[in-house]
Amino acid sequence: MQPISITSVRSWQDELRESITDPAQLLKRLALPDDLLDGAIAGDALFDLRVPEPYLSRIEKGNPRDPLLLQVLPQQQETQQLPGYTTDPLEENASNPLPGLIHKYTHRVLLILSGACAINCRYCFRRHFAYQDNQLGREQWQAILKYLQEHTEVEEVIFSGGDPLATPDSRLHRMISDLEKIPHLERLRIHTRLPVVIPSRVTPALVSMLASTRLSTVIVLHINHPNEIDEEVNHAANQLKQQNITLLNQSVLLRGINDNATVQKTLSKTLFAAGILPYYLFLFDPVAGAGHFDIPETEARRLAADMQASLPGYLMPRLAVEIPGKASKTLLTPLDDIQKSSGVIS
């Protein structure tokens, strides 16, 4: 397959800066009805709208139920206060020993590199996170390095955020170089949506940096629907795959967006064609302001059984839920009644 030609000379920083942040502008660009504006303004007041141009171009104009639109459009439902939905659904505050560092699982830590995102997903479990208290200046970074040197059980560092790839390449290079000097660290994992929403973020400098580190590098993308994967996303993924960087995907089950076995099966196949392995399919984290996306566990397990009945094992993401205080993610099995009636072969 010949690589596609990327003709745009605009940088990813330009596209990030020029993201749509005004609800009225978003509705106008997508030819959506004016009666959505009041709800969009109400939701935006609680959690800012942000949509970059490359992602916007994949949304169908005039369709208020477009699955990509629903991930980013603020809505009136966000103002509802529902019991059981909290501002810290994963209880990360209890595992935040230093600014910018979350240590929930024994052998890995998560670093909040940036509070910035290229896109504000309405279901984000960190939409209320105190990023202002977790900024990584020079002093905070030195404290994290000291923590990692002392905690020799830690094998893996996860770059997260916000979006860690909102960080410039030069800063990423310095941070990775510092981590490489800690001998017991083996793996670097990057959780990011930027290569999906702004594919030009996968620069030659970024690819070269990740290919040259001694740390085994894994990039975990966040793609919820097959319509998010276009030619430029495929190109970006290919640049990383050519350097033997492992690409995984995690998605979240979302009401009205991807709570459909046909959509999920298409997503797994489209990911694999792009060189990305399905990794996790998460139940929704009960974050305040986004309860309208949630679906019951039983419904999720039935959907997973439907997927498992027709997908080979390597295309089947692990259905999981994150339960605060547990030593790992909790895996959920598909419901047996569907499995037994389908004659599953993996």
What single-letter amino acid sits at 237? A
Asked if 36 contacts 27 with a C-beta cutoff of 8 angstroms, the reply is: yes
pLDDT in tens, 286-317: 999 999 999 999 999 999 999 999 999 999 99
Percentage above 90 pLDDT, the chain: 93
All domains in the chain, ordered by first residue: 12-79 (no CATH), 92-342 (3.20.20.70)
Q: Which of 51, 26, 30, 54 is nearest to 228 (CA)?
A: 54
Total-model pTM? 0.92
**Helix (H/G/I), strand (E/B), else coil: 45:** helix
C-alpha dist (Å) from residue 145 to 96, 115, 245: 15, 20, 25
7 has pLDDT over 50: no
Spatial separation of the C-alpha atoms in residues 223 and 221, rounded to whole Å: 6
How sure is the predictor about 335, in pLDDT bands with cuts at 50, 70 and 90? confident
pLDDT in tens, 74-131: 999 999 999 999 999 999 999 999 999 999 999 999 999 999 999 999 999 999 999 9
Q: Name the residue with higher pLDDT: 272 or 7.
A: 272
10 has pLDDT over 60: yes
343 has pLDDT over 60: no
Spatial separation of the C-alpha atoms in residues 137 and 70, rounded to whole Å: 35
Percentage above 70 pLDDT, the chain: 94
Burial code of 72-97, b = ≥16 C-beta within 10 A, e = fewer? bbbbebbeeeeeebeebbbebeebbe
Residues 6+ apart with CB under 8 A from 101: 109, 110, 111, 112, 144, 147
Q: Which two tokens stand for residue 84?
A: 């059981």
